Structure 1
Amino acid sequence: MSLSHRPVTENDLQIICGFPQNASELFFLFPKADFPLAPSQLQEAIAQRSDSTVVELDNEVVAFANFYRSETDGVCSIGNVIVSPAARGRGVGSYLIKHMAHLAFSKHLAAEVTVSCFNQNVAGLLLYPKLGFQPYAIEERKNKEGNPVALIHMRLPRNAT
């Protein structure tokens, strides 16, 4: 299994749009988007963010993330995190989040990296603490149906790596 990363390209958008398997998964990735995710919606998010990155597994795009906040008050916030259904449970998410944290600390000189995860996203809630992220706040949000959900904010200080 060979993992690598690179900046996202326009050719990747359609592939990434196929990763969310239902409206719930899309909500975890991109709460404002409508299912199914269209390349134009993804392109709009990428344009407002920085360091949009894909992970390749044996030369196939299998994951995506970016920063929705970088260099503000020494904090980089990772967002739009998604792993292809075919690559889940194979260490791809860990690789992606470790790379994004490294980018935050080395390129942006961040003091800390944050990530936020909805309470129904069990995979994310189990992954981030394994990588050193600690919860620090819970924010009430509404899902697409208007029901309350919890958005759990986690952080990884520079000295934790």
Structure 2
Amino acid sequence: MTAATPPLTLRPFRPTDSALLIDWITGPTELITWAGPSFSWPLDEAQLTAYATDPARHTFTAISADSEPVGHISLRRHDDAPGARLGRVLIAPASRGRGLGESLFTLAIDQAFGDLALPLLDLGVYAHNTPAVRLYEKLGFRTHQVIKDVEQVDGVWWTALQMRLPSPNQ
């Protein structure tokens, strides 16, 4: 018998949460895995402030039952299409391996299709990040585009998968 996943809640990202992300992302490879080429190493408060104040973006910090920040996720509305892009998913290093990623995603999906009434979500993930790909597929996301050799990291080309989930309310 496995232990139940602790409950999470989402709260809006606060400026003080920047220090958490800076602490959780320990190097340039992890930064690219988290955000693609959108940020530069070293990650700093100025980059995170610009990111979090984007008016099209909803940024959230995941809070555990004992009121500890344990994760981050964002939704960015598309400029030219219905729906939003789910991304910048991160679980605190000390909280990984406890099933929190699935809880975090479920909350974000509920927010997107419930409160925000979005018709679809999409996301990008590097193909070699197989635990993330398996989780997204478990939650119903399906690959609709493969972009080979999209990013070179430490001399190795990474392939990206673009995945999509339509709202069950459509």
TM-score (norm 1): 0.88
Unpaired runs of at least 5, structure 2: 1-5
Deviation, 1:103, is 1.4
**In the alignment, what sits opposite 1:47?**
53
Deviation, 1:51, is 1.4
Superposition pairs of residues 76-91 of structure 1, within 5 angstroms: 76-91=84-99
Residue 10 (structure 2) pairs with residue 5 (structure 1): yes
Q: Secondary structure at the match of 2:116?
A: coil
Q: Secondary structure at the match of 2:168?
A: helix
**In the alignment, what sits opposite 2:159?**
150
Distance change in 2, residues 1:13/1:126 (3 Å): same
Larger Rg: 2
Superposition pairs of residues 27-38 of structure 1, within 5 angstroms: 27-32=32-37, 33-38=39-44
Structure 1 residue ranges (4+ consecutive) displaced by more than 3 angstroms after TM superposition: 144-147
Once residues 156 and 89 of structure 1 are traced to their aligned partners in structure 2, the CA distance between those partners, rounded to angstroms, is 24
For structure 1, which segment, 81-90 or 116-125, has the greater mean C-alpha deviation from structure 2 after superposition? 116-125
Unpaired runs of at least 5, structure 1: none
- Report the identity percentage: 24
Once residues 40 and 76 of structure 1 are traced to their aligned partners in structure 2, the CA distance between those partners, rounded to angstroms, is 24
TM-score (norm 2): 0.83
Once residues 35 and 60 of structure 1 are traced to their aligned partners in structure 2, the CA distance between those partners, rounded to angstroms, is 26
Once residues 72 and 87 of structure 1 are traced to their aligned partners in structure 2, the CA distance between those partners, rounded to angstroms, is 36
For structure 1, which segment, 1-10 or 144-153, has the greater mean C-alpha deviation from structure 2 after superposition? 144-153
Distance change in 2, residues 1:99/1:157 (3 Å): same
Aligned residues: 161
Amino acid at match of 1:53: F
Amino acid at match of 1:131: L
